[in-house]
Amino acid sequence: MGEVKVGSAPDSWGVWFANDDQQTPWERFLDEVAAAGYTRIELGPFGYLPTDPSRLKEELDKRGLEVTAGTIFEHLHRPDSWDSTWRDVSAAAELAAAMGARHLVVIPSMWRGPNGEVVEPRLDHEAQARHGHQVTELGRRIAAEYGLKTQFHPHADGHVDSQETVERFLAETDGEHVNLCLDTGHISYCGGDNLQLIQQYPERIGYVHLKQVDPVVLAAVQEEGLGFDEAVKRGVMCEPPLGIPELGPVLDALTGLDADLFAIVEQDMYPCPPDVPLPIAERTLSYLRSHGGGVSV
């Protein structure tokens, strides 16, 4: 039986950008993560936390925190995008590795904008194959230069989002160099089946983001054709056990894998009042402890 080691991330505190006046200050984020009972974090948007390794290590150590992964977007489906993608990826990977992390979570760029407008055409099968080849090469280089495993994160309104595009991505990539960051909220948001992905691709589940979606809000934003940003403002992501997927069966399936996994607890909230995230983070951790026999903090 495997174990799911749980942490939290800046996203859970309403952090989407490196700098934004509407976000929780980074010092408060770190203080509250520790106060809520978590011991593991992700770096979040690069530049939100201090990027000087010595300073960040000092801030983490005094709160008893460690880093599981860095997080960064890619746009490798575009022609001639390798250099700009690698510049961003290497900065995040270097800091994550310096903090002792083992993973880099890589997220696709968006085909739909914040107001629901189409900003790029969806990838056809030929473009999906090229994208998969590029991401595989990215994962190979990340491992070679920084010793990190690349975990690819399907994202609502991103070029890898639905069950079909996730399965196509897995078919077009090499599991030696890139695997799946299973974000339960984004998979459900896009109509996918988390349990089916775990069951059909057990060897490709390398990392997890645990979150839930409010099905009533989701139905409304889909009916109106709204983008993910507006959906988040309306509260489409919610705390367990108020949404989908049901996390108990997901945790059971994950602990049934022959692997120890890191799972980051998230609830996308932006913007949100600064006093909202901490109580949610505390309640969510309590819920997970009572519904996941293989969960550790």
**HSE (side-chain half, CA atoms, 13 Å) at 18:** 8
CB atoms within 10 A of CB 88: 14
Mean pLDDT of the chain: 96
pLDDT at 246 over 70: yes
* Partner residues linked to 158 by β-bridges: 110
If you average pLDDT over residues 234-242, what whole number do you get?
Answer: 96
* 41-50, 126-135, 284-293: least confidently modelled range: 284-293
Count up the domains in the chain and report the number: 1
Of 115 and 153, more confident: 153
Predicted confidence (pLDDT) at residue 292 exceeds the cutoff of 80: no
What is the CA 251 to chain-centroid distance, rounded?
Answer: 16
What is the domain extent for residue 36? Answer: 4-296
Mean of pLDDT values over 65-75: 97
Give the separation between CA 111 and CA 189, rounded to whole angstroms.
16
Rounded Cα distance, 228 and 215, in Å: 14
User: What pLDDT shows up at residue 215?
Assistant: 98
C-alpha to C-alpha distance for 17 and 11, rounded to whole angstroms: 9
pLDDT given for residue 1 in this prediction? 77
Nearest to 219, CA basis, from 189, 185, 186, 183:
189
Which pLDDT value is given to residue 123? 96
Nearest CA-CA partner of 123 in 165, 162, 155, 163: 165
pLDDT band at 28 (very low <50, low <70, confident <90, very high): very high
CATH number at residue 24: 3.20.20.150
- The pLDDT of residue 294 is 75
CA 15 to chain CA mean position, Å = 13
**Dist CA 179 CA 210 (whole Å):** 17
Compute the average pLDDT of residues 39-68. 98
191 conformational bin, left if phi > 0, alpha if psi -120 to 50, beta if neither: left
Distance CA 70, CA 105 (A): 6
Q: Please list, in sequence order, all residues whose beta carbon lies within 8 angstroms of the beta carbon of residue 46, skipping any fewer than 6 positions away.
A: 18, 70, 71, 72, 88, 91, 92, 95
Quick one: pLDDT at residue 216? Answer: 98
For residue 293, what pLDDT is reported?
67
pLDDT in tens, 173-222: 999 999 999 999 999 999 999 999 999 999 999 999 999 999 999 999 99
For 3, 31, 277, the CA distances from 13, given in Å and listed in that order, are: 25, 11, 5
User: How large a percentage of the chain has pLDDT more than 90?
Assistant: 95
pLDDT of 291: 83
Give percent of the chain with pLDDT exceeding 70: 100
The token duo for 206 is: 């390398």
